[in-house]
Amino acid sequence: MARKEKSRREKEFGLTAYILKPMLVTAKQTLKSTINRPNTVQYPWEKLVLPDVFRGRPGLIFEKCIGCGICMRICPNRCIELVEVDDLKHEEGKPPKKVKRPRVNVGRCMMCGFCAEYCPTDAMIVTPEYELAAYTREEMIYDPYKLQFPGVPGNEVHIEEILPSELNKGVAPRRHVEHVDLPVVDDKKCISCSRCAKDCPVGAVKMVEVGVNEKGRPIKRPVFDKEKCVSCETCVEVCPKDALTMQEVQ
Amino acid sequence: MISMYLDIWQLLGGLIHWLLVDIIGAFVGWLGFHGLEAWLGSPGVLNFVTILIVALIVFVVGMLVSITLIWQERKTLGRLMDRRGTQVGPIGLFQNFADALKVLVKEHIVPEAADSLVYNLAPVVIIGTSLMMFVTLPYSPGFYVSNPQLGLLLTLALFGIVPFAVLLGGWASNNKYTLIGGMRAAAQIIAYEVPLLLSVVGVVILTGSLNFFEIVQWQQDNVWLIAPMIIGAFTFVISMVAELERVPFDLPEAEAELVEGWGTEYGGMRFGLIMMSEYARGFVGSSIITLVFLGGWDMPDFLNVIPVGLWFLLKVFMVFGIIIWVRGALPRVRTDQILNLGWKRLLPLAAINIAIAIVFKTAGVF
Amino acid sequence: MAEMWINMGPQHPMTHGLWNLRVKVDGETITDAEPVIGYLHRGWEKMVENRKYPQIIPMADRLCYGSSFTWSHVYCMAVENLMGLEVPERAKWIRAMSDELQRIGNHLMWLAAIGPDLGNLTIFLYAIREREMFLDLFQSLCGARMTYNYCRIGGVRNAAPPNWERDVLRTLDYFEKRIDEYEDLVDRNKVFRMRMEGLAPMSGKDAINLGITGPVLRASGVKYDVRHNDPYEIYDEVDWHMCTADEGDTYARYRVRMDEMRMSVQIVRDILKKMPKDGPIRVKPPRNAPVGTGFARMEDPRGESLIYVVGKGDDEPYRLKVRSPLYVILSATPLLLRGHKVADVPSILGMIDVCMGETDR
């Protein structure tokens, strides 16, 4: 309760108030600290216990990652790049396949947690590691193998939201709402190069023949699968003629 | 009353006599130098060597207790603020040696435009007079170096040489901030000398002497002087805290202010000596308070098993603990408010104290 | 002694933050003052012109770590104003509650900073120890202790963890007793009062003319609080009242902030009672903002903060303008310091609660 009622200048400035009251307060604290332990955590011999949601450095679960690049696009400091590395699992006798996985510059990372939040497959997680000192700057760039971390389900960050049109209608929040945005193709600009279909990380783009042009070559247009698309915008970036744009669903 | 104490004069006198006459004297006599043997056994040489060794021992004990005061301050202040204090060594006892080592290996710099004679002389005067005061203080009836008849006056006089050296040191550093700091420090200390001395006049009136032994003897026969002279004790403690330049009166050496204090340009061991002198004067101040107001080494009969010197040191630690406690609870007071407090409030209180002492004496109570 | 200009700063243990205060001194008395800022300029307003709208939220956190949630909150409100987006009910309640917890954290940091200025280290450690409790609360809510990245355009990031209400109520119960202890240590301390009472009085008229807002304005008797005069989120449904003082000196500014801490505790308790228990907390914002302008203002722990956004139809803003309350209050330094002694400077400036991150951006 705010003490607005009493006039402040006469706030019980009686005899004990001269210097005795502060000395009593400090004496009580001295006794409490001597009989029990003081409030110090003697780092580095003792460390605090961190909750699962603690945002330390980003971590990667290699098997779940699809190489879509959403983490690369959303990072505010541009610390993440996708690099081609050998896949971890490969069949006997054959060379391992090359896949795209993120490489994080942990020295620049500000531990905002966006990569973990926007990852469609929960492959990027937040980890409780914060002791990241190294001797050179090159050591601070974690390649996908070093970035791995054995995470618990509490380390994942989920977005649970609703569409603006569903507000006040009692619709429960759910996951993956942001994946309702699909790309649309501008017919005049598309040249049927099929690069969007080749680069899509989840295989949601199929090229469909819609006709034949003057020279007898088939004209193909991409068709997007609503169930598989994760709105990563890889196709939008890769298209050489900028024929694709994301269509918002409100 | 029967109390245990270590009479260092008898112990060391006997030891030196045995050493010089029976061992070295006999050896020299066996070699054939009888003149030397007679000279070694003469009372003059014996006295001189005894005084030297006793002074050395008392000095070393005094220094060790001062260092322990530093440890006590850091640990108490730590627990007061809900943290551990220093932890170097078993319970933090090695911190002072670590500090001393660090201070010894630092570079000694003299500013180019500073007056180097005075600049080098100022810390010498400060630490010299501070350590000289160990000589006049008795820890127990047998542990003292010299027992001057005017012991109290001599100690307080030595206390008062320091502001002069502070002003010289601040001025000689050729830095306008240290000059202001030095002037402030000198003004503050001189302003508080007057209530300091006046509050002791009451004690002198009641006990009739300035000798430490007689004051403590009077307190052993009658009551501890803190009881009739409560106002005087209060004034003396506050003035002593201001003399020692501690919080709440440490504006001359405040870090968060514009001027950094008179000792800015001193680095390395000089700074170490200045720090040392602060705590040495703290020890001397607390000892004077204990001897004059708290009965010195007086203790009830049933606690006979503790040696008297240790009981005295316990009281000194207690008094210093109160001074640390005040540091933990109060912020700094502004300069003009400090001087205000000294001249306008403490001086009348000291005068009232003298009046009370006169009343007690003439009424024949003591 | 002739009048001379003295530089306090930029490296000085007392001026919280990186700025230079030049004072013209005649003996011990100050005759003029001039603040020189710009040492911490990071080019924030230019930097955000190259980022998408959601990427700016953690950058707004870092405008000032003491009031980090309020800066990202006012940014999200401005962008929602631009996009015409409506936020779910439950998100508004959670945002207001985080605001008030941030306000308590900021005032504790301020309390910890004035201790060493005036020479007392005890209050520093006590206030930091209490602030740790509130940082732990935020850590269990969103994973980070100081720069939360918790507000989103369209709501908040995630719902409160289980046992949130129990934890917050426990912390507040413990904290109220500690506020009593701080008042014992500072208010009933003759030395603190001697150093704070009667210093640097500023009349209400002068404060309004200089454009000062926040606790400094309310300590001069002017009843102006953005939560009251222009309520945003749900402040018109919560039971609270404004904290003001009449005298306008340093002690009044101190007193207003202590009262605000108690008032924040009361507000959080009320919010926990009235908050809807379930419902959506987040709405999907559009990727591209329309061409137009949007702005929002709210009561920062230090004053009134305002953000003005100009959109260009793209997913990056065209211009973002930040109105920082401390930038304006620092211009009042000459008025406050004239006629006082040099030893009063830490005491007066400490009560203004300087933070250079948002002043220089």
In angstroms, what separates the C-alpha of C312 from chain A's closest C-alpha?
Answer: 17
Inter-chain touch C13–B255, beta carbons under 8 Å: yes
Q: List CB contacts (< 8 A) between C157 and chain A.
A: 117
B334 touches chain C (CB under 8 A): yes
B333 touches chain C (CB under 8 A): yes
Domain annotation covers residue B204: yes
List pLDDT tens digits, range A66-114.
Answer: 888 899 999 998 999 999 888 887 777 888 888 889 999 998 999 988 9
- R_g of chain A computed on alpha carbons: 28
From the list C122, C191, C346, the residue facing B328 with the nearest CB is: C122
Q: List CB contacts (< 8 A) between B83 and chain A.
A: 33, 38-40
From the list B77, B80, B332, the residue facing C118 with the nearest CB is: B332
Task: Walk me through the domains of chain C, giving residue ranges and CATH numbers.
Answer: 4-360 (1.10.645.10)
Question: Residue B207 corresponds to which tokens in the numbers above?
Answer: 């006990």
Q: Tell whether the model's pLDDT for residue A117 goes beyond 70.
A: yes
Inter-chain touch B330–C342, beta carbons under 8 Å: no
Q: Tell whether the model's pLDDT for residue A207 goes beyond 60.
A: yes
Mutate to test the interface with A, among C188, C195, C223, C246 (most CBs of A within 10 A): C188
- Domain of B279, in residue numbers: 94-363
Q: List CB contacts (< 8 A) between B80 and chain A.
A: 26, 29-30, 33
In angstroms, what separates the C-alpha of B356 from chain C's closest C-alpha?
Answer: 28
Residues A161-173 have a mean pLDDT of 80
- The reported pLDDT for the residue numbered C170 is 93
Inter-chain touch B80–A25, beta carbons under 8 Å: no
CA distance A98 to A231: 23
Residue of chain C whose alpha carbon sits nearest to that of B77? C122
Inter-chain touch A173–C281, beta carbons under 8 Å: yes
CA distance B181 to B186: 9
B162 touches chain C (CB under 8 A): no
Q: List CB contacts (< 8 A) between C58 and chain A.
A: 76, 110, 112, 114
Domain annotation covers residue B273: yes
Inter-chain touch B248–C119, beta carbons under 8 Å: yes
Mutate to test the interface with B, among A18, A21, A31, A33 (most CBs of B within 10 A): A33
In angstroms, what separates the C-alpha of A129 from chain B's closest C-alpha?
Answer: 26
Inter-chain touch A39–B326, beta carbons under 8 Å: no
From the list B250, B329, B333, the residue facing C122 with the nearest CB is: B329
- The reported pLDDT for the residue numbered C317 is 92
Q: List CB contacts (< 8 A) between A34 and chain B.
A: 79
In angstroms, what separates the C-alpha of B311 from chain C's closest C-alpha?
Answer: 31
Q: Hey, what's the torsion of the CAs at C305, C310, C316, C320, to 10 degrees?
A: -30
B263 SS3 class: coil
Domain annotation covers residue B245: yes
Question: Are C340 and C333 contacting, i.e. CB atoms less than 8 angstroms apart?
Answer: no
Domain annotation covers residue B107: yes
In angstroms, what separates the C-alpha of B184 from chain C's closest C-alpha?
Answer: 11
- The reported pLDDT for the residue numbered A17 is 56
- The reported pLDDT for the residue numbered B143 is 82
**What pTM value is reported for the model?**
0.89
Positions in chain B short of pLDDT 70 = 1-3, 251-260, 366
Residues A4-17 have a mean pLDDT of 47
CB atoms within 10 A of CB B314: 13
Residues 161-180 of C with CB under 8 A from A: 161
Residue of chain A whose alpha carbon sits nearest to that of C186? A22
Q: List CB contacts (< 8 A) between A19 and chain B.
A: 326, 329-330
Q: Which residues of B make CB contacts under 8 Å with A?
A: 76, 78-84, 325-326, 328-330
Inter-chain touch C120–B330, beta carbons under 8 Å: yes
Cα within 13 Å of Cα(A140), Cβ side? 15
Residue of chain A whose alpha carbon sits nearest to that of B327? A23
CA distance B236 to C166: 53
CB atoms within 10 A of CB A18: 14
- The reported pLDDT for the residue numbered A15 is 47
- The reported pLDDT for the residue numbered B360 is 87
Give me the interface pTM, i.e. the ipTM: 0.86
DSSP A161: B
In angstroms, what separates the C-alpha of B345 from chain A's closest C-alpha?
Answer: 14
Q: List CB contacts (< 8 A) between A172 and chain C.
A: 280
B250 touches chain C (CB under 8 A): yes
CA distance C216 to C332: 11
Q: Tell whether the model's pLDDT for residue A196 goes beyond 90.
A: no
CA distance C138 to C132: 10
Domain annotation covers residue B34: no
User: What is the phi/psi pair of residue A208, to 5°?
Assistant: -120, 135
Q: Tell whether the model's pLDDT for residue A9 goes beyond 60.
A: no
Element (H, E) at A82: strand A80-86
DSSP A104: E
Q: Tell whether the model's pLDDT for residue A36 goes beyond 80.
A: yes
Inter-chain touch C119–B336, beta carbons under 8 Å: no
In angstroms, what separates the C-alpha of B76 from chain C's closest C-alpha?
Answer: 12
Domain annotation covers residue B7: no
In angstroms, what separates the C-alpha of C27 from chain A's closest C-alpha?
Answer: 32
A132 SS3 class: coil
A108 touches chain C (CB under 8 A): no
CA distance B245 to B183: 13
CA distance C212 to C191: 29
From the list A4, A110, A250, the residue facing C259 with the nearest CB is: A4
Residues 183-222 of A with CB under 8 A from C: none
Positions in chain C short of pLDDT 70 = 1, 13, 15
Domain annotation covers residue B32: no
Domain annotation covers residue B196: yes
Chains adjacent to B (≥3 CB pairs closer than 8 angstroms): A, C
A162 touches chain C (CB under 8 A): yes
Mutate to test the interface with C, among B334, B339, B340 (most CBs of C within 10 A): B334
Overall domain count for chain B: 1
Question: Could you write out the DSSP letters of every residue in C41-91?
Answer: ---HHHHGGGS-TTTHHHHHHTT-STTHHHHHHHHHHHHHHHHT----HHH
A131 contact partners, CB below 8 Å, separation of at least 6: none
- The reported pLDDT for the residue numbered A5 is 42
In angstroms, what separates the C-alpha of B181 from chain A's closest C-alpha?
Answer: 27
| Pairing verdict, β C291-300 and C303-312 | antiparallel
Question: Could you write out the DSSP letters of every residue in C7-19?
Answer: EE-SS-SSSSSS-
In angstroms, what separates the C-alpha of B325 from chain A's closest C-alpha?
Answer: 7
Inter-chain touch C58–A112, beta carbons under 8 Å: yes
The confidence band for A21, taking pLDDT boundaries of 50, 70 and 90, is: confident
- In terms of Cα–Cα distance, which of C134, C124, C80 is closest to C104? C134
Question: Are B202 and B353 contacting, i.e. CB atoms less than 8 angstroms apart?
Answer: yes
